[in-house]
Amino acid sequence: TQLLEQSPQFLSIQEGENLTVYCNSSSVFSSLQWYRQEPGEGPVLLVTVVTGGEVKKLKRLTFQFGDARKDSSLHITAAQPGDTGLYLCTRSGGSNYKLTFGKGTLLTVNP
Amino acid sequence: DARVTQTPRHKVTEMGQEVTMRCQPILGHNTVFWYRQTMMQGLELLAYFRNRAPLDDSGMPKDRFSAEMPDATLATLKIQPSEPRDSAVYFCASGSRLTQGPHNEQFFGPGTRLTVL
């Protein structure tokens, strides 16, 4: 089983602070996705990264894929209470459409 | 605004009772997934279907769980008999070759929160 390790497991910060969460594996990913799950809802896709070293920005969120395609990070600048949620990384299973999820980082941004 | 819908949103039942959860995938999506989420295990894949045919249910306890797609607009997950350890949030997700491309985006429903007493 190819595990995805996410850290930290929990993170509680004040509005306006910056933060970084991580997703690591011992295996190479063909592609990696980040989802955000808000309380009481299902996960929603934020981004897909495919190329080693790739950086993608989504407003205040910056996603980076490691050069070796074994790890990824998500950096949030000037966090807002609306960023509160569970951030999940997942690797694609390729043609069989299966996704393997990490356990996530539960982020709380306090006003 | 196309969304995956799930019913019921909440279910409280007693141990030994049958539980049926329903999912309506996004119209036109041909893959449907069932996941279970708990604090301890995170999000676990239970089963998935493509074009209504079950492709993989290796994550599902076979003795008490069953998943079906009687038609393209309905997927069901049944637990019989239910046990307290089945308490979790159950998510349905759908996708299609057009939306997924090579990277398998899935669209999740809001989940069914199951509590077995």
A48 CB neighbours in chain B (<8 A) are 103, 105
pLDDT of residue B102: 57
Nearest Cα residue to A35 out of A85, A108, A78: A85
Alpha carbons B33 and B106: distance in angstroms, whole number = 9
pLDDT tens digits for range B75-98 = 999 999 999 999 999 999 998 765
Alpha carbons A90 and A32: distance in angstroms, whole number = 6
Query: Would you call B104 and A97 a contact, using CB atoms and an 8 Å cutoff?
Result: yes
pLDDT tens digits for range B4-49 = 999 999 999 999 999 999 999 999 888 899 999 998 889 999 998 8
Alpha carbons A67 and A52: distance in angstroms, whole number = 4
Q: pLDDT band at residue B100, thresholds of 50, 70 and 90?
A: low
- Among B43, B55, B100, select the one facing A101 at the smallest CB separation: B43
Q: pLDDT band at residue A81, thresholds of 50, 70 and 90?
A: very high
Q: pLDDT band at residue B50, thresholds of 50, 70 and 90?
A: confident
Which one-letter DSSP state was computed for residue B12? E
pLDDT tens digits for range A15-63 = 999 999 999 998 888 888 999 999 999 999 999 888 899 999 999 999 9
- Among A96, A97, A101, select the one facing B95 at the smallest CB separation: A97
Nearest Cα residue to A18 out of A62, A64, A68: A62
Query: Would you call B104 and A50 a contact, using CB atoms and an 8 Å cutoff?
Result: no
Q: What percent of chain A has pLDDT over 90?
A: 73
A103 touches chain B (CB under 8 A): yes
- Please give the C-alpha separations between residue B47 and each of A36, B32, B83, in angstroms, as whole numbers: 22, 8, 19
- Among A40, A45, A88, select the one facing B105 at the smallest CB separation: A45
Contacting A with CB below 8 Å, chain B residues are: 4, 31, 33, 41-43, 45, 48, 50, 55-56, 91, 93, 95, 100, 102-106, 108-111
